[in-house]
Structure 1
Amino acid sequence: MCVSDPLAELNRLQERDLELDHIREDQSHIPVELGQARVQFKELENQLGGLQDQLREVRMAYHKADLELQDLKGKYGKAKQAQSQAQSAKEQTQYGEQMRQLEDRIEEIEGNDKKNIVGEILPLMQQMDELEKEIEGVRARQEEARARLEELETANRQRVEDLEATYQSKKADRDQLAATIPAPVVKEYESIRKARKGTGLAKMAKTSNGYRCTACNVQLPMHVAQQIHQAQKVVRCPSCGRILWKGE
């Protein structure tokens, strides 16, 4: 099918192409609420990971101190037994000094309420309790955030699918319109549109002293304007390269 003004039809084709572009942009757009939910979930995930790392470090410190404490107590027991079996006062004194040093270190780790020594073990146990409670709280918030995020992700997938159905329907109409325009014109238009990332056709507008391209706003030479009015061939803007149309 041939049309009397292929550029008028090409203008309609471009309108549909721009509409299709807009649909694609909408598909790629992330809703604000979904973006915020993703950020919130990621922050909670990072917070949880950081707390778990801290808990692992504190547990390692606790187990290290506990192992040292058990080792010291074992040595203290052996020194006490050896002192009781000592054959001389000197040996008893030596074992007594060893026991005193062991007791000092045991108190540093285990603490001594009577001497008001907190020790190393109790603060580590308190840290573990606090971290475990904090982790439990963050996990609860994370589960709430996960449920909300999944809900929003599902809604967004449906939104994208609905837009895709609209896109395909409009694309079919667009392709039917394109089939009514001479193929070389459509091919040239599509090539320019791709290079210009959007538009391949521009209207020519009258100014006080001539004509201009409405796409790049450059003043057109008079002979170019005359060729466009004659509409005997496809004329492109000398500046931006778009196909120029005189309008309806």
Structure 2
Amino acid sequence: MRNKLKALYELQEIDLRIDGLDGEKAQLLSEAQALEAKLAEAREKIAAKREEVQALEEEKGALDANLASENENITRSETHLKEIKTQKEYQAVSKEISTAKKQITELEEQILQKISAIDEANGEIAKREAELAELEGNVTAQQAELQQKVEALEGGISKDVVVREETVKVLPASVMKRYSKLRDQRRGVAVVEAKEGNCMGCNMHLPPQLYNTLFRADDVITCPHCQRILIMKQEVQD
């Protein structure tokens, strides 16, 4: 039984180490995902700005068409003006021309505003594209570094898994079942040290008779308070 308790203690150490490595790996993968999200956000902002430019170009196109139409109207009206014979008709056409010229002035102002907005948006796109290129370079370097760390962790996990499989072989199925259940219930810690009369898992005082029994290391004994498996470290390390 002493060897089985020693194997349980070693198994706990291996599992905690694997838990730690898995946690580090998860953190690294999370960081990698955060970098990808940062790139995606930068690209989405550029795409949105390009859509804004496209919308401005379409609005400018509509204004250009209206401007051309108004200029054609003026040309026709001015031609017609030369053929008019009555004062009343002359005044009506002149008013049309005046109104059209006013509309042209307004359209030209709106077109200039659109051109300015387009230039500003294109400048913003160029700036963001330069920032994105720099960010992509930085992210690529960071991701390569993260990947190296992940691979190193995976190597460590693989080695521990091999050792774990060998350790499990000496433990009865009933003990492994209890161990696994406790791991699930106690945040990964199923085996704890008993020291100076106390359970180091829950820090509760152990009954003296139970504590003394641990020195013999001849049975799997659990804490009456937290139900974790108790070991005397010096007994299983000898």
Q: TM-score range by the shorter chain?
A: 0.7 to 0.9
Amino acid at match of 2:202: C
1:37–1:145 Cα contact (<8 Å) kept: no
1:187, distance to aligned residue in structure 2 (A): 2.4
Bigger share in helix: 2
The Cα offsets for residues 131-180 of structure 1, whole Å up to 9 and x where unpaired, read as 21221221122122223322322332333223222211221112112212
Q: Tell which has more relative contact order, 1 or 2 (C-alpha 8 A, sep 6+).
A: 2
Counterpart selection for 1:205 from 187, 195, 205 = 195
**Which residue does the alignment assign to 1:107?**
105
RMSD: 2.5
1:202–1:244 Cα contact (<8 Å) kept: yes
Amino acid at match of 1:97: K
1:109–1:120 Cα contact (<8 Å) kept: yes
**Which residue does the alignment assign to 1:120?**
110
Amino acid at match of 2:171: I
1:109, distance to aligned residue in structure 2 (A): 1.6
The Cα offsets for residues 191-226 of structure 1, whole Å up to 9 and x where unpaired, read as 2112222111111121xxxx2210111222345434
Counterpart selection for 2:171 from 152, 157, 181 = 181
SS in 1 for 2:222: coil
2-structure distance, mates of 1:160, 1:246: 35
2-structure distance, mates of 1:214, 1:36: 38
**Which residue does the alignment assign to 1:235?**
221
The Cα offsets for residues 70-90 of structure 1, whole Å up to 9 and x where unpaired, read as 121122222222222224221
Moved more, 3-12 or 134-143: 3-12
TM-score of the aligned structures, taking structure 2 as reference length: 0.86
- Gaps (5+ residues) in structure 1? 111-118
2-structure distance, mates of 1:76, 1:5: 105
The Cα offsets for residues 72-117 of structure 1, whole Å up to 9 and x where unpaired, read as 112222222222222422111111111110111101122xxxxxxx
Corresponding position: 1:215 with 2:201: yes
Where does 1:1-248 land on structure 2 (aligned, <5 Å)? 4-30=2-28, 37-38=35-36, 40-110=38-108, 119-206=109-196, 211-248=197-234
1:51, distance to aligned residue in structure 2 (A): 2.3
SS in 2 for 1:120: helix
Identity %: 22
- Gaps (5+ residues) in structure 2? none
2:223–2:229 Cα contact (<8 Å) kept: yes
1:33, distance to aligned residue in structure 2 (A): 7.9
SS in 2 for 1:202: strand
1:242–1:4 distance in 2 versus 1, CA, 3 Å: closer
1:39–1:247 distance in 2 versus 1, CA, 3 Å: same
SS in 2 for 1:185: helix
1:246, distance to aligned residue in structure 2 (A): 2.9
